[in-house]
Structure 1
Amino acid sequence: MDHTNHMRLTDAELIPSELEGATIYGPDDEKIGSVDHLHGTQVVIDVGGFLGIGAKPVAVSTSELDFMRDEDGDVHAVTSWTKDQLKKMPEHRD
């Protein structure tokens, strides 16, 4: 996916109603997870699993994700983290 024409979200748009469910893309545009919820200044990402079953929630700083909106208005994010790196992180618990 070419992200060059996608509009970056403003700080005011970094709210649960905009971000929850957003797909997260890692290096090489690999789908690595989706936003489950926000926890303070962190984004909890469900990594792995299938349709949310067996996914591992991990928390990363909002600043480590580049949120944007595509031509269809769908919100997604890109990061330098790989799926394997996220899977090795400690599981997030609320």
Structure 2
Amino acid sequence: MDHSQHVRLTSDELTESTLDDAVIYGPGDEKIGSVAHVHGSGATAKVVIDVGGFLGIGAKRVAVSATDLDFMRDEGGDVHAVTTWTKDQLKGMPEHHD
């Protein structure tokens, strides 16, 4: 997927309602997870990502800063993010518990 034409989200758009279920793509443009939920909003938001598993079953949840992900909208308006982390790197992070 060519992300160069996608519109980056502003800090004000980094909210639960905007980011919920957004797909996270890794460095090889492969799907590595999805947003489970968000704590806070804006530049200080923590994004909880489901990594691995199938349809949410067996997935590990990890929390990262929203600013560590590059959130954007594609031509159809769907929100997604890209990161330099691989799926294995995310799986290696501490598990998030609410």
What's the TM-score bracket when you normalise by the shorter of the two chains? over 0.9
Count of paired positions: 94
Report the AA paired with residue 48 of structure 2: V
Q: Percent identity?
A: 74
1:7 is displaced (CA, Å) by 0.2
> Runs ≥4 in structure 1, deviation > 6 angstroms?
none
After TM superposition, list the pairs within 5 Å mapping 1:16-55 onto structure 2: 16-40=16-40, 41-55=45-59
SS at match of 1:84: helix
Structure 2 partner of 1:83: 87
Q: What RMSD, in angstroms, separates the aligned Cα atoms of the two structures?
A: 0.7
Structure 1 partner of 2:71: 67
TM-score normalized by the length of structure 1:
0.97
SS at match of 1:71: coil
Q: Does 1:92 align with 2:93?
A: no
1:30 is displaced (CA, Å) by 1.1
1:46 is displaced (CA, Å) by 0.2
Deviations 1:4-58 (A, max 9, x none): 0000011111110110100000101010000001123210000000011111000
* Gapped regions of structure 1 (runs ≥ 5): none
Structure 1 partner of 2:10: 10
SS at match of 1:38: strand
Deviations 1:33-86 (A, max 9, x none): 000011232100000000111110000111110000000000000011100000
Report the AA paired with residue 66 of structure 1: D
